[in-house]
Amino acid sequence: MLSIDLTGRRALVAGVADDRGYGFAIAKALAEAGASIVLATWPPALNIFLNLLERGKIDESRALSGGRVLEFEKIYPLDAAFTTLSEAPADILENKRYREVGDFSIEGLAKRLTDDFGDRPVDIVIHSLANGPEVKKPLMETSRGGYLTAMGVSAYSMVAMVGRLAPLMRDGGAFLSLTYMASERVIPGYGGGMSSAKAALESDTRVLAYEAGRKYGTRVNCISAGPLASRAASAIGIIEAMVDYCSANSPLTEPLSPAEVANTAAFLCSPLASGITGTVVYVDKGYHSMGMAVDKSEALEKR
């Protein structure tokens, strides 16, 4: 039987703060395949997530096959807006949610990994990170600061993570990020520079695949997932409408589940996908293939 086997591999999943998003689902799928899991969580959400774990609030979501439970070797603080701690401004460093957690930068994360697990501590890195503080604003009304924040956290952080973590990967390492088709088509209401950030992330995936592949032998891919009504996505303001519209207008009309994205992620990070890099894989029930809304084409058929 052909199966995904990640036994003996360690995966870092960055961007998990609850059990409802794609990041958590991917962590769960990788664990099902045998990988050990390390998380990186945004400092303002870190204590909330730890409390959910300690109080058993997400125990049901952590259930794996065979009576096993999703466990985390480590949960690190990470604010992907900062490659090094020296980039963080004083108001962040002095914030009560940051000042007690140590080095929360990408470089700090790399150091924690080597301190805890040795010189080559990781095999898989999942980038499930995005932040658009002005995502509800039309692009024309987005400030320079809001635009650059969206680009920095949602796209450049992947560049910085590959640069810092690729040298720490064992042979056969794989990076994977999550994008959205607003990178290539207009999604009204998905603003604040987030569409630009997703386009940059996809472009960077191809360049990073070349550079990291030649230098370190690692693979870099991206999943373009359909919309999900996660807690993080609620910031968009129209996420439920986005989910309903895609479901109504996709070739497969069943709502997209986090597990479907997670299973694809597990495949792309496994030896079964050793020949795949620099690629954006759509997991959206086929919505990306549509050129006209279903109600419009039905209207044309009646003419």
Identify the active-site residue in 22, 76, 180, 287: 180
The torsion angles phi and psi of 184, rounded to 5 degrees, stand at: -130, -15
Gyration radius of the chain's alpha carbons: 19
| Spatial separation of the C-alpha atoms in residues 5 and 266, rounded to whole Å | 9
- Beta-carbon contacts of 144 under 8 Å, excluding residues fewer than 6 positions away, are none
| Spatial separation of the C-alpha atoms in residues 166 and 178, rounded to whole Å | 18
Q: How far is CA 125 from the centre of its chain?
A: 10
| Spatial separation of the C-alpha atoms in residues 124 and 175, rounded to whole Å | 6
Is 282 one of the annotated active-site residues of the chain?
A: no
| Spatial separation of the C-alpha atoms in residues 170 and 217, rounded to whole Å | 9
Identify the active-site residue in 76, 98, 147, 190: 190
The three-state (H, E, C) secondary structure of 143-159, written as one string:
CHHHHHHHHHHHHHHHH
Strands, sheet with 10-14, edge to edge from the N-terminal-most edge strand:
74-77, 36-41, 10-14, 122-127, 169-179, 219-225, 280-283
**DSSP strands (E only) in the chain:** 10-14, 36-41, 74-77, 122-127, 169-179, 219-225, 280-283
Is 180 one of the annotated active-site residues of the chain?
A: yes
Helix, strand, coil percent values for the chain (each to nearest 5):
45, 15, 40
| Spatial separation of the C-alpha atoms in residues 174 and 124, rounded to whole Å | 5
Nearest Cα residue to 279 out of 215, 226, 202: 202
| Spatial separation of the C-alpha atoms in residues 79 and 29, rounded to whole Å | 24
Name the residues annotated as catalytic. Answer: 180, 190
